[in-house]
Amino acid sequence: MKPLHRLTIFITCILLFSPIVFATTELPWIFVKSEDGIIIHKRPHTAGLVEIQAQMQTPTTYSGFLLLLEDSENVPNWIDNVSNSRVLMQISDAENIVYTQFKAPWPAQDRDMVTYSKYRVEDGQFVLSIKDASNYLAKEAGYIRMYDIDALWTLQPLTNGNTYITYTAYANAGGILPNWLMNELSISSALSTFKGLKEQLPKYQGQQHPNLPNEPR
């Protein structure tokens, strides 16, 4: 796979308008909804914004998950509102700087973001962290830059053959959108993205990622 298609980001998930950062004081999670096996929680962050957590279990290997994330051409088919994404720099096999554009629902203006991502397999878990890297690229005309991005994907194998996927994230959408609207968008975007993830993952099973260890599944 070419370096420009290695979206180990991702941005992956960074769901459009997820107004969420890991809170310095960890408050209890508040259940939002459960739909199609996807569970969404939220908790207060700062200034009226919330942190979002999405979880589900589904049959996938770590290789299958990572190969999906790296397939840049398929990104718009599962990450909510993504119109384009490309790797700006591949730092190492496990690290990338990525630029992503989002189509914003009316009346919001289109957004973009620049992120640094790094993945690892540790204690049997796959972990992908995503951080803001806005200073890497100058602002693009016609887009509002998202910032303060901080997200974490974790995958853990279950005894029933499924993998438990957890995504926790924050990103300030910028602009003048009211907090209540950003919070609603973050919830709907998380749910839509996880539905897309669940739909697309089967296409990447049975393939071994060259940078991940073989899995006995």
Cα separation, 82 vs 48, in Å, equals 25
Render each residue's pLDDT in the chain as its tens digit; 217 residues. 444 344 333 333 444 434 433 434 578 999 999 999 999 999 987 767 888 999 999 999 999 999 999 998 999 999 999 999 999 999 999 999 999 999 987 777 899 999 999 999 999 999 999 999 999 999 999 999 998 899 999 999 999 999 999 999 888 887 877 888 888 888 999 999 999 999 999 999 999 999 998 886 6
Please count the other Cβ atoms lying within 10 Å of the Cβ belonging to residue 190. Answer: 27
Please count the other Cβ atoms lying within 10 Å of the Cβ belonging to residue 122. Answer: 9
- Write the DSSP string, 54-106: EEEEE---HHHHHHHHH-GGGGGGTSTTEEEEEEEEEEETTEEEEEEEEPPPT
**H/E stretch holding 154:** strand 147-157
Helix (H/G/I), strand (E/B), else coil: 185: helix
Predicted confidence at residue 157, as pLDDT, reads: 95
Indicate the pTM of the whole model. Answer: 0.85
**CA-atom Rg of the chain in angstroms:** 16
Predicted confidence at residue 58, as pLDDT, reads: 97
- Which residue carries 């298609």 as its tokens? 5
Sign of CA dihedral 176, 39, 117, 129: positive
Cα separation, 53 vs 153, in Å, equals 10
